[in-house]
Structure 1
Amino acid sequence: MVELEVLRERLAEARSQLINEIQNLGFDGFNKSPGESSWSVAQVCHHLYLAEKSFTSGLIYGMKSEKSQKADAKPLQLYLLDRTKKIDAPSIVAPSMGPFELQQILNLLEESRANLLTVMDGVKDKTVLTEKSAKHPLFGYLPLYQWIENVYLHDQRHIEQIKEIKSEIL
């Protein structure tokens, strides 16, 4: 059985780590890119916001779908946490060029998280999270609880990227 409380804790922990990494950056450091083909910390954070909105939409779609099928869990952490495997962001979650204000990004991240938690709070029958799935563009059909796991694992992947960016620009 999927424990929503455990998922909530992992979401909160990853978000706390993210905020800790970005909260002391000034405007220039937040928006500076280490190279022409690299994102700035602000763009990474904007991408996280867009991705969380997308994952939440996938979760909602899967819960509402009458045709939803059961899917086997995938080892998301093996793929998402391995930064040697480059993943190109689909255009729907590609960040804007910016620049961004830190508070603006913090507000967006708070908004996307509140929406996800509202959806999670609305789950009356937890079995839906294991019995139904939705098709992810990279991983194929994922059980719905893995759409939630995807959020914090994706955050963790990009927290490491933010650390790398900071080491290059600061």
Structure 2
Amino acid sequence: MNNDIANALDNTRKHLLSAIEVFTPAQFNRVPFENSWTPGQVAEHLLKADGGALEMIHGATAITDRQPDEKNEIVSAIFLDFNTKMKSPDFILPSSEPKDKNNMLQQLNDKLAGLAQAAREMDLTRTCTAFELPGLGLLTRLEWLNFANVHTRRHIHQLENIHKVTAGVIQ
């Protein structure tokens, strides 16, 4: 199971980096349409969220008294429902400052590679006790890794839509 989530995170990382690479530096910091984040803001949001997941995985844990993947299905269903607009918690909202695309690419690569490495090396059955995901409670390391994966995939979809607009494919 560890290799499954590790491989999924590696694939998501590659897909994310490719989705960001297509933007010019100017497009990276330009709002593509009303009520949208810039690609740079999406990247910063992911950096905060994935960094938080990495902190949870390396933080305090306890023995789990349920199936360690029990919440994966609901987390996946929530974040992979692209028809539902979500509001991000304040602590992972991006700033309005311009972002350096290359710096963001490197940091995202490092965070997601760190998550995949944790997936390969850590006991994923343990419950992370430092933070409860709103509406879902405490998650196991495996569930945090799944969260990082599907949350990142959600934003890859968002970046692909932004690129279609900036490339003039859709209006």
Instruction: Report the CA distance between 1:140 and its aligned residue.
Output: 1.8
Separation in 1 of the partners of 2:117 and 2:7? 15
- Give the match for residue 132 of structure 1: 127
- The answer for unaligned runs of 5 or more in structure 1 is none
Normalising to structure 1: TM-score of the pair? 0.83
- Give the match for residue 90 of structure 1: 89
- The answer for unaligned runs of 5 or more in structure 2 is none
* Residue identity in the other structure for 2:150: L
Q: Is the 8 A contact 1:52 1:151 kept in 2?
A: yes
Q: Deviations over 1:33-84 (max 9, x none)?
A: 12342101111111111101111122223xx235x54345122211110012
Please say which of residues 51-60 and 137-146 is displaced more in the overlay.
137-146
- Give the match for residue 61 of structure 2: 65
Q: Percent identity?
A: 24
Normalising to structure 2: TM-score of the pair? 0.82
* Residue identity in the other structure for 2:155: H
- Give the match for residue 24 of structure 2: 26
Instruction: Report the CA distance between 1:138 and its aligned residue.
Output: 4.2
Separation in 2 of the partners of 1:70 and 1:93? 29
Q: Is the 8 A contact 2:128 2:141 kept in 1?
A: yes
- Give the match for residue 110 of structure 1: 109
Separation in 1 of the partners of 2:23 and 2:61? 42
Matches within 5 A, 1:40-55: 40-55=38-53
Root mean square deviation, CA, Å: 2.1
Q: Deviations over 1:9-31 (max 9, x none)?
A: 10011111111112132111111
Change (3 A) 1:70 1:57: farther
